[in-house]
Each structure stands twice: as structure tokens, then as C-alpha cells.
Amino acid sequence: MSASNSIALEARDLTRIYGRGSEEVRALDGVSLQIRKGEFVSFMGPSGSGKTTLVNLLGCLENPTSGELDLAGRRIFGNGEVVGERDLTRIRREIFGYIFQNFYLIPTLTVRENVALPLAFYRKPGVEGEVEALLKQLGLEHRMNHLPGQISGGEMQRVAIARALVNRPEILLADEPTGNLDTTRTGEIGEILQQLNRSTGLTILMVTHNPDLGRLGGRHIEMRDGRACEA
């Protein structure tokens, strides 16, 4: 495999500036990095350091103010070009899976229905039967017909992981995936993510303020004042 084919994401001088009243907030300040396929990268740093902003840009959830982003060699942002919203929606569905601190499960849907929800909007070939397989893999087969309010926080996050994986994404983005969990459940979710990376080669980008969880990644990037450095 050539070096270019092994690059999942490449960012060059990504900058994100927000307006806050008359103040200009430089949330991200010229970040450049490469993410290789199959890497498990932890983004760490204090609140307001830019880690979530960076991962949102890498995951095509936000547009940069300036800079370039290539996804598997394709220019997404940069040189005055921005991929159209329809293409961005397709990229989010086909390439990425997303996990957030808040589980965002629909309370009136069962566990199985929550996991299957992305398939209602887009279904990759060959994913039939993926819902049951994922729930079994994550130890939730006995919870398939339960509502979110009937399961624990750790189980809810495992449901969210299954939902993120159901379309077999190439890249998984996890933004503070254990922020609402206790130490034991945090360890469980960390082990699941680490095992997914090792067993399937799934590329994982994880934002966390938890140093123990962050150390599970094979590569650590420390964010400070909108800038990135290898930890």
C-alpha cells in the first residue's frame, strides 16, 4: 500500500474563528496533521483548548474558517472549495460514525430500533443482520426490546456505539464518550473502543479529558489554545 493510500485524513493549517460579541475567538489556530488508516488517536487538553472543534472539523461536522482538509485524498475544504451540503451529508453517512457524551437515543424506540435508525436513511450493501450482530458483540442481545429508560448509562453508551457502527464506517469519532459515566463504565467503554480498533482496524478519533482513557489510544495529541502537539 502506498503512503498516500494509507492516509485517512490530512489537515493543513486548519483555523476556526468564532465571533463572540465584538470579540474574535480563535478556537483552532493553524493545525496541521495526518491521520493514518487504522490509527486510534486520542485528543486531550483542558476545556476550551480546541479539541472538540478540531475533531468536528475532521469529521465534517463544521467548516473551517481557513485551511485545507483532505479525506482519503479528496479535497473537502480548502483553496476556496467547499464540498456541497449534499455531498457532505453522504460523506457523514458513508465514512463516519459518531459517538457523543450525550447518548442521543430516542426514548420511545427500543434498543434495536435505535441501532437500526441510520439504516432508515442510508444502508450500505451487506449490512443486513448487522443490528443483531452488533448488539450481541456488545453484550446487549438481552436488551434488544428494552427502551433506553430501562437500561443503565453504560448500556446506553454501548447502544450508541452500536448505532455508530451499524453502517460499517471507516472512521469513528468519539467526543467525550465516557463523560457521563462512572470509572467502571468508563473502563468498559474504553476497552470496547480499543478492541474495535485492534480487531477491525477501524480508525478512531477520540476526544477525552480523562488521561486513563486517553492512554488507550496508540497516539496522543495534546491541544492547547487551539494548537496541537504530539504528547
CATH of the domain at 136: 3.40.50.300
pLDDT in tens, 76-109: 988 766 678 888 888 898 899 999 988 999 999 9
Q: How far is the C-alpha of 32 from the C-alpha of 222, rounded, in Å?
A: 13
| 109 found inside a domain | yes
With beta carbons less than 8 A apart as the criterion, state whether 68 and 77 touch: yes
Quick check: is 101 in a domain? yes
In a domain, 14, yes or no: no
Half-sphere exposure (Cβ direction) of 70: Cα atoms closer than 13 Å:
16
Bridge partner residues of 224 (DSSP): 227
In-domain check, residue 99: yes
Residue 16 lies in a domain: no
Query: How many structural domains comprise the chain?
Result: 1
Residue 153 included in any domain:
yes
- Burial tier of 74 (Cβ tally within 10 Å: 0-12, 13-18, 19+): exposed
pTM over 0.95: no
Does 147 fall in a domain?
Answer: yes
Q: Cα(199)–Cα(126) distance, rounded to whole angstroms? A: 19
- Please give the single-letter amino acid code of residue 185: R
- Please say if the pLDDT value at position 2 is more than 50: no
Tens-digit pLDDT profile for residues 194-216: 999 999 999 999 999 899 899 99
Residue 172, domain extent: 38-66+90-230
Cα separations (Å) of 205 from 56, 148, 212?
Answer: 10, 26, 16
Tell me the β-bridge partners of 28. 16
**Cβ neighbour number for residue 51 with a 10 Å cutoff:** 27
